[in-house]
Structure 1
Amino acid sequence: MLQSVATHLSSTSTTTTTTPLLLLSKPFLCLSSNSQISLSKPFNFPQTSKSISYYKPPMNILNKLGFGTRSPDPSTMDPTVPQGPDDDLPAPGQQFAQFGAGCFWGVELGFQRVPGVTKTEVGYSQGLLHNPTYEDVCTGTTNHNEVVRVQYDPKECSFESLLDAFWDRHDPTTLNRQGNDVGTQYRSGIYYYTPEQEKAAKESLERRQKLSDRKIVTEILPAKKFYRAEEYHQQYLAKGGRFGFKQSAEKGCNDPIRCYG
């Protein structure tokens, strides 16, 4: 097209008139019938070394329903730190355990009710991205799982008691899904800190498998670095959840857990 324009212009009068250049939001060239332009040097648009992002995090409720659209920058996916061990320390005389069993809100409340559990935190683990956000995890591209890190007193609560609460809290036969929550962040997982926890977890899975006619897909892996979730996620249901109705975290409470409050 530019060659045609040049041919046309070369056949017209050589008289040059000044025509105002019209600037629009999209590339546009306005020429009068007797204007001359030089095509000997192409026009170079300004370059920038900085990438421009137009991403705005979607609403959390949409992410929770599985409509996250953003993928984290692959250049930030360095697994060195997030795939390292959880180097946080429990309180003296206490032990840690990590569990993934679907949306961490209801899972946390279930563990809060277990006698001998002294602290619970929800967060992200087993992924590839350092310092992930909730929006990052909901994309399903970081490989993180929504987990609950449980701190417990082994003198008052055995690891086997925590395993019982874990199995009873979810369906371990549905891959990357719990109810309406679908995605890799909802997978079933037991993440151990000690060889004793690993042994107990595997033996517990074998016993449960004998009672199920469907294959259990729970992964049993070493506990990786734990990234504490945003503050509003912590003890979400005990604080009132979405609708402001607080659910009891009292030890031994058997009230049904409303997963979203």
Structure 2
Amino acid sequence: MSWLNKLGFGARTDTPMDSSSSAIPQGPDTDIPAPGQQFVQFGAGCFWGVELAFQRVPGVTKTEVGYSQGYLDNPTYEDICSGNTFHSEVVRVQYDPKECNFDTLLDVFWDRHDPTTLNRQGNDVGTQYRSGIYFYTPEQEKAALEARDRQQKILNRNIVSEILPAKKFYRAEEYHQQYLAKGGRFGFRQSVEKGCNDPIRCYG
């Protein structure tokens, strides 16, 4: 993996993507969650640590990392790191609303990153690292907007997180899936036990 790409400084093409011809990439997510389950997508910087945080939440039944909100059909990691496709690194969370309140997921989202930094989380810089909540239902949208307003009062700073309808989800390459749970670059596996509050160490 190129660290330049990971920092958002990958090679750029001369011509940016034209969003006017992107009906497929910008369409809604047509995947169907398991019976009785719901989907939501979160973007909060590098998706490795974000996924692990949601894996630990009781009532979350599945997580996948991928790319969404961009202009290119079936993008690769290198494509989105170019900065030209406008995809966001996201975690698609499947959860059981009978066991996991949506507000709990929102709390994890706010706690996991700084929602006041535009296109940046720490050393990760680029539009793919932007903050966002991508909803599937009107109820999720309402809860996200209300939570944003509460969080903004707490932080007393302007929150730049997008709150938008979920778009087509492109599953990331297999080596990105459950990356930290599998050990990451150094083989140090991190716990996915429900309710675990061990510090999350994000490494390449």
TM bucket by the smaller chain? over 0.9
Q: Does residue 1:113 correspond to 2:63, yes or no?
A: no
Give the equivalent residue in structure 1 for 2:102. Answer: 159
- 2:14 and 2:144 map into 1 onto residues whose CA distance is 33
181, 185, 189: which one pairs with 1:238?
181
40, 52, 71: which one pairs with 1:97?
40
1:1-261 to 2 correspondence within 5 Å?
A: 59-71=1-13, 78-260=21-203
| Larger RCO, structures 1/2 (Cα 8 Å, 6+ apart) | 2
Q: Answer whether contact 1:102 1:186 (CA < 8 A) is retained.
A: yes
- 1:137 and 1:148 map into 2 onto residues whose CA distance is 15
* TM-fit CA distance, 1:212: 1.2
Q: Answer whether contact 2:115 2:131 (CA < 8 A) is retained.
A: yes
Q: Answer whether contact 2:12 2:83 (CA < 8 A) is retained.
A: no
Question: Across the two proteins, how many residue pairs are aligned to each other?
Answer: 203
Per-residue displacement from partner, 1:92-121 (whole Å, max 9, x unpaired)? Answer: 111000000000000000000000000000
Which letter maps to 1:69?
A
Structure with larger Rg: 1
- Moved beyond 2 Å, runs of 4+: 59-62, 70-78
Which TM-score applies when normalising by structure 1?
A: 0.75
- 1:102 and 1:75 map into 2 onto residues whose CA distance is 22
Q: Answer whether contact 1:133 1:229 (CA < 8 A) is retained.
A: yes
Question: Which structure shows the bigger proportion of residues in strand conformation?
Answer: 2
Q: Answer whether contact 1:174 1:217 (CA < 8 A) is retained.
A: yes
* TM-fit CA distance, 1:76: 8.1
* TM-fit CA distance, 1:214: 1.4
Q: Answer whether contact 1:71 1:136 (CA < 8 A) is retained.
A: no
Which TM-score applies when normalising by structure 2?
A: 0.95
| Greater displacement, 64-73 / 189-198 | 64-73
